[in-house]
Amino acid sequence: MTQHVATKKRRFRLFSYIGEIINELKKVVWLTRREVAYLTALVIIVTVCMGIILGALDFGFTELVDKLFLAGK
């Protein structure tokens, strides 16, 4: 008997929790499609630029280490 009541309480808490999540998501101010596209493009541009910069630094330090420690071999 008590196990059955405990199971019902768990289910009730789960449904209550899901209902609270849905209510909170209704309050969220979502971005417009234009804002999402702009910010996505911005992230891609910054990522590519940082990749190029880090790749150049890596290449430069690799060449420097090769010349200093391996004497250009």
Q: In terms of DSSP H, where are the helices of 1-73?
A: 2-27, 33-69
pTM assigned to the model: 0.61
- The amino acid sitting at 55 is G
Cβ atoms 48, 40 nearer than 8 A: no
Model pLDDT, residue 9: 64
72 sits in the region (left: phi over 0; alpha: psi -120 to 50; else beta) called left
Model pLDDT, residue 59: 97
Model pLDDT, residue 8: 61
- The amino acid sitting at 61 is F
**Can you give the pLDDT of all 73 residues of the chain as single tens digits?**
455 555 666 667 888 889 999 999 999 999 999 999 999 999 999 999 999 999 999 999 999 999 998 875 5
